[in-house]
Chains A and B, each alone.
Chain A
Amino acid sequence: MNKMNQRLNFTHLDALESEAIHIMREVAAECTNPVLLFSGGKDSVVLLRLAEKAFRPSHFPFPLMHIDTGHNFPEVIEFRDYRAKNLGERLIVRSMEDSIQRGRVVLRSEGQSRNPFQSITLLDAIEEFGFDACIGGARRDEEKARAKERIFSFRDEFGQWDPKNQRPELWSLYNTRTHPGENIRVFPISNWTELDIWEYIGREQLEIPSIYYAHEREVIVRDNSLVPVSYLVQPKAGEHVQNIMVRFRTVGDMSCTCPVASHARNVEEIIAETALTRITERGATRMDDQTSEASMELRKREGYF
């Protein structure tokens, strides 16, 4: 009777969870010097819980790392530090500000989105520490190019992804081999959707940054998007600032990440909204992904996550 109950309880989330744990353990066992990319965003929060399930009672066999664009929401940075400390795991932060100081990144203007330049700081950090595998929270349902990316995604010594020359990936036999200087991006939650993430956050009662929940915020309506007002974004002539209830579906660069109007104050209400939502996560919230139909693919080719 006991067993029957267990079997009936094995849900699609359990299947996805078990797959992700298996992937993380393969990375730990086969890669020499892996790192987990932790931004404080909801997908990487899920990654941390999966890492706990994969490796406790031991410490994680890899450090956490965040590439700080300097354009992050302060609530997210605060949460990032709190969560890493709380877990007792080592957090490495490398900032784009340093890359700018050193002349590695050259921006046209202060308010410009920093997302495309993260790759430079990331690649520099990979070289600095000699990481051969970066575990990230990307999902295939986010975007067309990602839909074709492997779980173990090989990058050459320039950090480039070659979509036409990917290693075949069969069963759950992952090829983790690299030459010196090359590395692998690993996406344990490739097969999760936005809804799966929220259901998992609800089920595991995971803490997430407060801006994922509905709150009052000053925004400007610009091209059907709600653009958050900050020191980076100020109203142009003719635009007026509104104070409305919003929540963020993704938490990236402050200059180009837009919230959606929402009254969802807890995970259950977000799940209800997500199940009904008619716009993709990136379509709704990332202005930089809309510039061309192929924009994510181009960024990935250049070394983006």
Chain B
Amino acid sequence: MSYQDLHDEDEALFRPIYETSRSFYVVVIVLTAVFLFGVGCYIHQLFYGLGATGMNEPVSWAFYIVDFVFFIGISHAGTLISAILRLSKAEWRRPITRMAEVITGIVLAIGGLHPVIDLGRPDRILHLFERGRLQSPLLWDLTSVTAYFTASTIYLYVPMIPDIALLRDRGGKLQNLYRILAWGYKGTPKQKHALERAINILMVMVIPIAVSVHTIIAWIFGMTLQPGWHSTIFGPYFVVGAIYSGIAALVIVMIVFRKIFHFEDYLKEIHFKYLGTLLLVVSLLWTYFTFAEYLTTFYGHEPAEMRVFLYKFAGGYAPFFWLMVFCNFLLPVIILSNKKTKTIPGILVASIGVVLGMWLERLIIIIPTLANPRLPYPTGIYIPSVTEIGIFAAGMSAFILGFMGFSKLFPLISIWETKEGRQHSVHEVSVRLREYLPGQREESGVEASVKAEL
């Protein structure tokens, strides 16, 4: 099979790369303006010091750390979901994995920068390498985030090689770039075998790295002595929250690009229904963790813990807390467990709710603990400054810009995997299905009977 006869069928997937509408440029200009405003905010902070933020004592970590945990959480969309779906041979994954992996790459780059933005002395960042203490959870974090970034960008790139080869063979723009990135891939059996092996190794490797990243972020808080943070379930709790916000972000991205680039034929309602079910399951899991965390705190009734607890349930952060419960529990569970509302718009509403709710969850975990120290200090009020909001807006627009840029260079839906699904998987899956059934033992026998039927 040569590449030339592969072109026409999935033309819709190539189109976004070669055709750009006017509104695309308008959005790029607006987002670039927002991004540049954020950069300006950071430059201001660089010269003025962290006084440009709304942080104070005792709330010495705030917006940046909240955003850091939030963005890294979103990054779990990708690699983890795509790896798990690949590993479990879920056939419906084919149009989803690429977008999921792109989310990871972009968001990780943005989220990973947030601790640096939060530093009082970013000029001394190299001290972490020269004099880093491995005993500090911050160093664990540095290690795991860089490992995850490396692994997930490779995991994004390797399954993209056959698609880049397709783009190279088509001719047209950016030939040199595609020629270099395609690594001389021609789709020979040997190359295919090597590619599949590489993907298999990567997907198994990426899962523990992804889990470790969010566990370690949770441990930054869990390892301290502070009430509300010093909790043994924080590692798994954060991982569940990360997967939760990740799936929601993935659904939003998929629905938006389906609309813009007319991928309706590839991203069908069934894909969203499956992802909706996944979202519902993780929603209940998240609720279970949250319930377990707060019930044990309440039942133990330790005074310092209770001060933080009441601050969340009935004090200054109560509106945020109950909004989080609504966004993360009531809204998605009601929408997704009802057949009538489990439609694409319904799933979109639930997903937006979850992303907002997970941001609030990070806020609720980080700030109330700092605002209620053990000793009776006058509690400071934390209100984010323009600088902090500007940098958050810049982060969001960098995410969208990154995605838009990617869509102009590479296909957002894996073309070769779609083709592979069409050409091989129908046969493969029917063989596999028959093996599950009683009465059929030998694989070769199954193969023969399927062939006979076809």
| Co-assembled chains A and B | no
Residue ranges of B at the interface with A (Cβ–Cβ < 8 Å):
none
